[in-house]
Chains A and B, each alone.
Chain A
């Protein structure tokens, strides 16, 4: 029971944070705001799923925010109907979406190649990829904002069922459920735990470590591209700095949700709690009549508090483990 509570601490924190916010600002207690939190969380959530796949395998993927930015801009460039800033190709949205996902997958392949074949540290590889894709993003499109995107392209990110429930929310929650299922019930998911927990043991037991790692990075890349599609649709425009700095929130959400940077530990549901917690904090601070000067500080302190709390639960869990014969 104690262990269960510790493992799900993020949901308890989420509950108390929400109650505290609503107590201070009753206007937060509305369906619309609740959905705003989910909608805000969807992009971060999709990226976090990719990060968790990599983290479980004991690797980092810092590049997903850049994958998002790059594929969003290139995709918007290919699909835009704007005469001046688009490519002029006006490719069919379905094709562009496939190309974006393929680009995301390619990024994952390149990351994996350096990590697996050349055995460069994943942190360095994906950091280099982060910078390289940023650079490409600037070069590719003359640094313009891309807009005039066809409605069929923006529907995933922009359409709301009944004008209230965004498709992106359904997508993001479904993705969490599916990926939790993948982790719990497929050989791929279980192998990731083994690889992250003890890579040598996994290899010696015959797990295809390289192939699983490749799959994790490819998934992360494709999820980055998927997030790009959602975000481009939501904003109906794409700028070159799209996604910039999100890697910190991705890490924060993963860690708050009980993901281990050393790999082999964690679930999808914990980080989902982390994502929603960040969403509540951000949306709550947007609605509350709080001085602008305080927003960054308050958000920083709340995130820090969540991370500290996570660490405390981890220490408790370690004690519990060592005290058991």
Chain B
């Protein structure tokens, strides 16, 4: 179950794992996203930047099935998809680490890791023992061995919570991983760990879409940088062929 998505870690037949064409979303009369097209590839980190309200979060929610688009098409692994719920997108191998982390404070770490995909025993009861063990193993492998899988998430620090959120996305061997501000509110040491992790994931074939306000992080991690401005695509650049000034101008809508 956990490794069904790892069979074809590379891109679809013609190169791109995710192809988005003309994606638009309105909330009442507010246009949150307006005709955005882009591609994301395996073995690549795509940096996603833009000012507040540029449409970054909306884009993630559309691709992951939280919201449904008003227009546009999404092609994932050569198949046109229309995810009705995040459940559908997760089943296809799309994971999201949300900015607000999307954890349930009342539940323990292991249960948050397996949220929505609880492992079951043969008699269909939840397999608590196995989930606790696997969560412990996962935390250990991420260098978070000090974090108990049975700790209640509500009692954890911000950094620890972030670690749980990241662990959850990683457990499921995503083919496409969205990370919405994964470094926000973290200590410098922790930021370093997260950035290192992103690099490692790319090397295992995952397509990572990395959202950050910090351009230094983006430039040090991303292979390409995609800029949104007021719901529209302002531009996509190879990291090596651009600089911070250009990206900032794109973010501000200056052409």
Contact = CB atoms under 8 A, between A and B. Distances in A.
A325 B157 contact: yes
Contacts of B122: none
Interface in B124-142: 124-126, 128
Interface stretch (B19-27, B42-50, B101-109, B228-236): B101-109
A187 B96 CA distance: 22
B126 A186 contact: yes
Determine the interface band of chain B, counting residues with CB < 8 A from chain A. Answer: 20 to 34
Contacts of B102: 198, 200-201, 204-205
A321 B154 contact: yes
Contacts of B66: 203-204
A194 B100 CA distance: 15
Interface string A173-202: 000000000000111001101101110111
Contact of B104 (A186, A201, A208, A325): A201
B125 A186 contact: yes
Interface of B is mostly: loop
Given A186-B124, A190-B126, A208-B85, A202 B106 contact: no
Nearest to B118: A187
A265 to B, nearest CB: 6
A163 interface: no
Nearest to B157: A325
Contacts of A190: 107, 111, 118, 126
Contacts of A325: 157
B214 to A, nearest CB: 24
Given A186-B124, A187-B126, A321-B154, A205 B115 contact: yes
Contact of B105 (A185, A198, A208, A324): A198
A62 to B, nearest CB: 24
Given A198-B105, A201-B102, A185 B126 contact: yes
Contacts of B157: 325
B38 interface: no
B85 A198 contact: no
A200 B61 CA distance: 12
Contacts of B200: none
A207 B155 contact: no
B96 A204 contact: yes
Interface in B74-122: 85-87, 90-91, 96, 98, 100-107, 111, 115-118, 120
Contacts of B120: 187
Interface in A197-230: 197-198, 200-208
A207 B87 contact: yes
A197 to B, nearest CB: 4
A264 interface: yes
Determine the interface band of chain A, counting residues with CB < 8 A from chain B. Answer: 20 to 34
B106 A193 contact: yes
Interface in B18-37: none
A20 B179 CA distance: 59
A206 B65 CA distance: 10
Contact of A265 (B64, B103, B106): B106
Contact of A194 (B64, B104, B154): B104
Interface string A305-325: 000000000000000010011
A201 to B, nearest CB: 4
Contact of B107 (A185, A186, A193, A324): A193
Contact of A321 (B103, B116, B155): B155
Q: Which of B87, B111, B124 has the most CB of A within 10 A?
A: B87
Nearest to A210: B85
Given A204-B66, A206-B85, A324-B155, A193 B104 contact: yes
Interface string A145-185: 00000000000000000000000000000000000000001
Contacts of A191: 116, 118
B126 A206 contact: no
Nearest to A195: B104
18 contacts: A186-B126, A194-B107, A194-B115, A196-B106, A198-B102, A198-B103, A198-B104, A201-B102, A201-B104, A203-B66, A203-B86, A204-B64, A204-B102, A205-B102, A206-B86, A264-B104, A264-B106, A324-B155
Given A206-B115, A208-B87, A264-B106, 13 more contacts: A197-B104, A197-B106, A198-B102, A198-B105, A201-B102, A202-B104, A202-B115, A204-B64, A205-B86, A205-B102, A206-B116, A208-B85, A325-B157
Q: 8 tightest CB-CB pairs across the interface, nearest first?
A: A205-B116, A206-B87, A206-B116, A201-B102, A197-B104, A205-B115, A197-B106, A185-B125
